[in-house]
Amino acid sequence: MYSWHAQDYQNLATNIKKHSFNALLVHGAANSGRAELINELIKFALCQSPQDLNACGKCSSCILWNEGNHPDITSLVADSSEERKSLQIKVEQVREIIDFASKSRHLSPRKIIHIPDAMQLNLNSANALLKILEEPVPECIFILQTNNINKLLPTIKSRCFKYQLAHPRWSEALAVVQENNLDNAEFWLRYFHGEPLFIPPFENHELVQLRTTLLKPSIDAIFALVKELDPKRVGMAQLLDFMFKWLSDLLLVKQGSAANYFAEDTEDMHKLVVKINYDKLFNLQENLVFLTLWSEHPLNHKLQFENLLFKYQQIYV
């Protein structure tokens, strides 16, 4: 668990101890150690002889938890082997969870149902889940996590104890990134909104090639980029995210501000944005949104990426 979550841990563990809620919804800090914090909390909630607000680490519950083999906790996650636009938890899975909740505990003081990504609930599975959230089973806690609480169904939110995690300070986050001797540490940290536990999506030379191509989108440069950065290898979602951020910076520069993610390119962007056609740029953004929804789907991403880059070239008229 990271130092900036110490207070969050105290707050949440105290509330678990006091039985303040049957369902907890934790949001924020997706790449800032949320998973580590939740793991600590679950271990504490399951522990048979907690020491104040910490798990003992020695009881059978703690041992089973460390082995990843605890019978009083289950996770509700979408089946990632399915080909769909987005990963979704199914109603049948929620029924299995309700069954799990109704059975008696094995060894821990409470049972836990963990939903690491509540955004995977669709309308049907969320409605199925509501029933059990409305009539909670004693000694059974739901722990839900989400990156974007605004996109969750209000009915789910209203039945949960909502908790927003602290964000690390810039200096704390940078220290974590620098420990890993990462090149362009400050650039990537800005790119990932100050949340330090990211994996850089591109190698150094790839980052340079992406930036230079977007600064000078010639036909040759576009073909060379698509050849070098095959979306199948680097991930379409990563390329789309890069382009989103680049376009949002172009708009900032066009409005007279400094670029946010690509601060070093602000000056070069100034020269570029003189020729920008807004309609074409917004149209390109819509294309990006559409493709993001399908980024896990096996389309011909190489062709899609190439098309996007040619459309990008066309926004300068």
Helix (H) or strand (E) run with residue 314 in it: helix 301-314
Among 1, 53, 56, 175, indicate the residue that binds Zn ion (CB under 5 A): 56
Q: Are strands 161-164 and 111-115 parallel, antiparallel or unpaired?
A: unpaired
Q: Which is nearer to Zn ion, 55 or 214 (CB)?
A: 55
- The interface region with Zn ion, picked from 17-25, 50-58, 77-85, 268-276 by CB under 5 A, is 50-58
Using CB under 5 A as the binding rule, whether residue 222 contacts Zn ion is answered as: no
Give the integer Cα–Cα distance in Å for 122 and 78.
10
Among 59, 87, 251, 284, indicate the residue that binds Zn ion (CB under 5 A): 59
- The interface region with Zn ion, picked from 21-29, 53-61, 129-137, 289-297 by CB under 5 A, is 53-61
Give the integer Cα–Cα distance in Å for 121 and 113.
14
Give the integer Cα–Cα distance in Å for 156 and 145.
12
Using CB under 5 A as the binding rule, whether residue 47 contacts Zn ion is answered as: yes
Q: Which is nearer to Zn ion, 29 or 41 (CB)?
A: 41
Pick out residues in 61-80 that bind Zn ion (CB under 5 A).
62
How many other C-beta atoms lie within 10 A of the C-beta of residue 298? Answer: 8
C-alpha 221: how far from its chain's center? 32
Give the integer Cα–Cα distance in Å for 5 and 115.
20
Using CB under 5 A as the binding rule, whether residue 53 contacts Zn ion is answered as: no
Give the integer Cα–Cα distance in Å for 26 and 146.
7
Minimum distance, C-beta of residue 240 to Zn ion, in the bound complex (Å): 44
Minimum distance, C-beta of residue 19 to Zn ion, in the bound complex (Å): 18
Using CB under 5 A as the binding rule, whether residue 197 contacts Zn ion is answered as: no
List contacts with Zn ion (CB under 5 A): 47, 55-56, 59, 62
